[in-house]
Amino acid sequence: MEELRTMLISNPNWEGGPPLSVLYSGCYAVYAQQDRLVASKDLDLIDSAIALISRTHSVVESLGVFSSNEDRDDLATADIKYILVPFYLGSLLSAAPVRIDGDINASATRLIDVNRAAAALRTFLQRCEQYDLLGALGQTVYEAAAAGTGAMDPAAKRTYKVEKFKREKSLNAALGALEARRLAAAAQEREDGGCSGGLRASGTTASGSADAATLASLGASSAAAASGGGGGSGGVCGALDEEEERRLWVWRVELAVLQALDLQGSIRQEGELLQHAAEREAAAAAGPGPSSSSGNARPGGGDVDCNGGPGAAEKAELMARLRTICRDLDGKRREQMRQDVFKPGHMLPTMTVEQAGEIEGREAMEREERQRRQEEKERQRRAALDSDEEDAEDKARQRAWDDWRDVHPKGYGNSKLRPCG
């Protein structure tokens, strides 16, 4: 950490100076120690680290390392690591603390960093898509996000998290194995005197400055300490062949893609919240409108501040009430989750067998009562008829039955007797 601090403070603006390969070594050194750097809360040091990564990104763009008409086969192995520079920038900006400058509120300042981080991650993912470096899992999630299909359902989200964990574990294991081979080969070559200097020598001879040597040494030490963490300082002489070196960087980029996709989602949500908070803070800073009442007291009671908003006591009371409501809601949600743990996947019965039997028996008795009343009504009607009317009704009923049998002979409903029907 002290070497990183010395390197960052010695050249805070990073204009001119060391070449691109040495600048990248410094970028990876910052990424490898990002947690300690952010935890220090040294805003000047963090700004210098952001300036270093931004300068490296500008140099990559100005040199034309990547072209829009290239594909994966056209990309040189030595240039793959520079794809990670926007990811380093977005990762540091998303974790950096907020600096309050003048009258600008905290939400607006943080929103600027969040927008910069989102733009850097978007550039990184688009470039990975161009060179087909997203990986199978990253490609699926990236296409779903680009299509705007919305949030995943809980089952799909759980499946994605499981697959992501397995893929990250396998990538870290493979990267660790390659890094172990690299370090072993480098140690053997140093003993044999066959390899000297690596990036330190190339960076020092290219720039001729102490800053270049410091950057190269930091990048090399960070790569050795955090193998498989999404970057590195480059190859060691004779450690890996061309195919293994290319596979190493492709895996590092894929691992960074999985981290960038998760970071992009959290940054998007934070940006929406910060946008709303910035608008609220700007409206509060503008003061009360012309229709607001003057003075430091409200007609209904409660103190107010000088801008006409609620006072400290009223804010504290409101926050206490909100915390109570949130605690109650969270308790109900937890209780519901506990109740749903052993809930079966099918619909549970709404009544017992005895209750269903009582309902069915009651309905059967009602049907019998309706049938009895209908038969009684028919018997009374027949009793009111004289003999001639009764005979005529019976003949009409028998005639209608005979007509129906003429139209529908025996076997009419059997399709086998009507093969052309």
Q: In percent, how much of the chain has pLDDT > 70?
A: 72
- Whether residue 231 has pLDDT greater than 60: no
Class of domain 2-284: mainly alpha
Q: Which residue has the higher pLDDT, 416 or 268?
A: 268
How do residues 333-351 score in pLDDT, each as one tens digit? 677 777 777 777 788 888 9
Q: What pTM was estimated for this model as a whole?
A: 0.58
Q: 3-state SS string over the chain?
A: CHHHHHHHHHCCCCCCCCCHHHHHHHHHHHHHCHHHHHHHCCHHHHHHHHHHHHHHHHHHHHHCCCCCCCCHHHCCHHHHHHHHHHHHHHHHHHHCCCCCCCCCCHHHHHHHHHHHHHHHHHHHHHHHHHCCCCHHHHHHHHHHHHHCCCCCCHHHHHHHHHHHHHHHHHHHHHHHHHHHHHHHHHHHHHHHCCCCCHHHHHHHHHHCCHHHHHHHHHHHHHHHHCCCCCCCCCCCCCCCCHHHHHHHHHHHHHHHHHHHHHHHHHHHHHHHHHHHHHHHHHHHHCCCCCCCCCCCECCCCCEECCCCCECHHHHHHHHHHHHHHHHHHHHHHHHHHHHCCCCCCCCCCCCCHHHHHHHHHHHHHHHHHHHHHHHHHHHHHHHHCCHHHHHHHHHHHHHHHHHHHHHCCCCCCCHHHCCCC
Average pLDDT over residues 60-85: 86
Task: Residue 150: count other Cβ atoms within 10 Å of its Cβ.
Answer: 8
State the pLDDT at residue 95: 86
- Whether residue 414 has pLDDT greater than 90: no
Side-chain-side CA neighbours of residue 360 (13 Å)? 7
State the pLDDT at residue 418: 59
Q: Which residue has the higher pLDDT, 58 or 367?
A: 367
- Rg (Cα) of the chain, in Å, rounded? 39
- Whether residue 230 has pLDDT greater than 50: no
Domain boundaries, the chain: 2-284
**Which tokens is 139 given?**
């490609």
State the pLDDT at residue 401: 93
How do residues 104-162 score in pLDDT, each as one tens digit? 667 778 888 888 889 999 899 888 888 888 888 888 888 877 776 556 677 888 888 88
Most confident of 172-186, 316-330, 393-407: 393-407
Distance, CA of 331 to CA of 327 (rounded, Å): 6
State the pLDDT at residue 309: 57
Band (pLDDT 50/70/90 cuts) for residue 206 is very low
How far does CA 59 lie from the centroid of its chain? 31
